[in-house]
Amino acid sequence: MKKKENMKDETIRIVPLGGLEQIGMNITAFETESSIIIVDCGLAFPEDDMLGVDLVIPDITYLEDHRDKVKGFVITHGHEDHIGSLPYVLQQLNVPIYATRLTMAIIENKLREHNLIGTVKRKVVTYGQYINLGDFRIEFICTNHSIADSAALAIYTPAGVIVHTGDFKVDYTPVYGDTIDLARFGELGKKGVLALMCDSTNVLKPGFTESEKTVGKTFDAIFEDNEKSRIIVATFASNVDRVQQIINSAKRQNRKVVIEGRSMINIVNTAIELGYIRVPDGMMISLEEMGNYTDDKLVLITTGSQGESMAALSRIAASIHKKVTIKPGDVVIFSSRPIPGNEKSVSKVINELSMKGAKVIIQDTHVSGHACEEEIKLIYSLVKPQYAIPVHGEYRHLIGQGEVAKKMGVKKENVVILRSGDVLEIGESHAKVVERVQSAGIMVDGLGIGDVGNIVLRDRQHLSENGLMVVVLTLERGSNMVLAGPDIVSRGFVYVRESENLMDECREVVNIALDRLFDRGVTDWGKMKTEIKDALADFLWKKMKRNPMILPIITEV
């Protein structure tokens, strides 16, 4: 990097609060003495062991502790893992949002749902435009991804220029908009770039990612091979270019198009209004109008490509959708790859569809929106960063990109692998982690935010694996004589009506424990509950090798 006299001793802090060691929940703060900007604010979907949890959002305690310095959110694109947490975070930290046109429109849909549209400042930014936020100047650069209006960021800081790619690939034939602005990356590289923060999702895949346009040819071929059938296509709601290509193929066969699934309807309608999807007049019809057309004149575009239980396709496959029923001869196209962890759910939906006589197509109808190894090398060759800070990926992806960076000339000691919560102090002379801050995700369950933690999850796990046994007894005030009970209620442990002998034995175990307590003159309810739990747990383990959650309830009259 070319040195500038006034930058010699300047440093800034980079604080990733999510998005590292995982796919999702991308959020990174950039901090000087007086200013903080935040790049992206995404959510993650729950792991298998997060029973009952709907979403995971970032812990922004660090930002709240420095709220006077926070100047705004700068958003790279409109995917859930980059914008999904905004409605929750903005309730705690209401600062302006800066994003491109389609990205902002999708954000505004979310803000309306949470009644925040009137209280949050928003600014639409165009490619090549600069915005000044405190000590930072940010430039939006055109990139390609699986959603239109994606941007990389050149962040001008007191310590030097940091280039953040956002999620990207190099697509020379995009469905909508311009190709990635490689020339601008090259210009920045010539002037000197302090650090490159590059998308790592596909770094372990050699070669180049295919153009989105290749999927259009595949759709055309599938539609021609199945011209007599009703066609149902499941894809990500946010993949606006994919929806456009399905519409293009439907147009060639004079088919009507139906959109189903709440998120799909919201995003597609927004994209049509803004001109990102072009639909011939009269081509789009409602679900209710499907009955007016024969199967060979219909295409249904729906959510549910990941097997989500409440998504439209899953409900259709399970025969619980109110308006769409699978018929023998229907063709269902899965236009996405299963996200790791979703394979079983997707397989279940495919099997249900197949059992109803549908023809399921899952090959060659998806290309990734992320750069493979050669595209990442291209960015490094143009940007020529002093430091490489891999982002967006699991730990193995970050390590993989570190290896690519070294191949492309970044010094080994200048490849910085961070974890969420690390505070990186970076300047021309050094880059080192100086502290760690709170960064574990906060779980959202229904309307509750943060009220489900590790202890609650552990209890849910225990209940899900072993069931529950409740012991109820009533004592006389003063004498502590047992007036009623012990009554035993079981849920998820054994079926009580077929286990009456076991229930009698459990009552006897509790009575013996109570006799021991009364002989010792114990009247403290806490000690009584502990004794009952221990005695019953010991008996059930010896008899059945099971360990249910035991909940004693004592009342007094």
Quickly list DSSP for 442-464: EEEETTEES---HHHHHHHHHHH
- pLDDT for 52 equals 55
- pLDDT for 496 equals 62
**What is the DSSP secondary structure assignment for residue 391, as one 8-state letter?**
B
- The span from the CA of 470 to the CA of 491, in Å, is 8
Q: Where are the beta strands (DSSP E) in 437-532?
A: 442-445, 448-449, 468-475, 482-491
- pLDDT for 553 equals 82
The two three-digit tokens of residue 273, written as one number: 């209004």
- The span from the CA of 29 to the CA of 46, in Å, is 23
Residues marked active site are found at 199, 370
**Which pTM was predicted?**
0.81
- pLDDT for 513 equals 83
The two three-digit tokens of residue 280, written as one number: 């011939």
pLDDT in tens, the chain (557 residues): 444 444 456 999 999 998 887 777 899 999 999 999 999 999 877 666 555 556 778 888 999 999 999 999 999 999 988 998 999 899 889 999 999 999 999 999 999 988 999 999 999 999 999 999 999 999 999 999 989 999 999 999 999 999 999 999 999 999 988 999 999 999 999 999 999 999 999 999 999 999 999 999 999 999 999 999 999 999 988 889 999 999 999 999 999 999 998 889 999 999 999 999 999 999 999 999 998 999 999 999 999 888 787 789 999 999 999 899 999 999 999 998 877 667 888 899 999 999 999 999 987 788 999 999 999 999 999 999 999 999 998 899 999 999 999 999 999 999 999 999 999 999 999 999 999 998 777 766 555 555 455 565 565 565 666 777 888 888 777 666 777 778 787 777 776 666 777 778 888 888 888 878 777 777 777 788 888 888 888 888 887 777 888 888 878 77
- pLDDT for 355 equals 94
- pLDDT for 419 equals 92
- pLDDT for 259 equals 94
- The span from the CA of 491 to the CA of 549, in Å, is 10
- pLDDT for 2 equals 43
Closest residue by Cα to residue 78 from 146, 170, 175, 172: 146
Name, in order, each residue with C-beta under 8 angstroms of 96's C-beta and a sequence gap of 6 or more. 71, 72, 73, 120, 121, 122, 123
Cβ atoms of 92 and 64 within 8 Å: the answer is yes
3-state DSSP: the chain helix, strand, coil percent, rounded to 5? 35, 25, 40
Looking only at the bridges linking them, the beta strands covering 11-18 and 422-427 are antiparallel
Name, in order, each residue with C-beta under 8 angstroms of 448's C-beta and a sequence gap of 6 or more. none
Number of H helices, E strands in the chain: 15, 26
Number of C-beta neighbours around residue 147 at 10 A: 26
Cβ atoms of 334 and 361 within 8 Å: the answer is yes
- The span from the CA of 436 to the CA of 185, in Å, is 31
Helices (H), 356-425: 373-383, 395-407
Name, in order, each residue with C-beta under 8 angstroms of 368's C-beta and a sequence gap of 6 or more. 146, 169, 201, 202, 209, 210, 337
Sheet of strand 331-334: strand arrangement = 284-285, 256-260, 298-302, 231-234, 331-334, 359-361
CA 210 to chain CA centroid, nearest Å: 24
- pLDDT for 550 equals 82
Place of tokens 């249910």: 548
- pLDDT for 7 equals 41
Closest residue by Cα to residue 420 from 429, 410, 433: 433
Upstream peptide bond of 486 is cis (omega within 30 degrees of 0):
yes
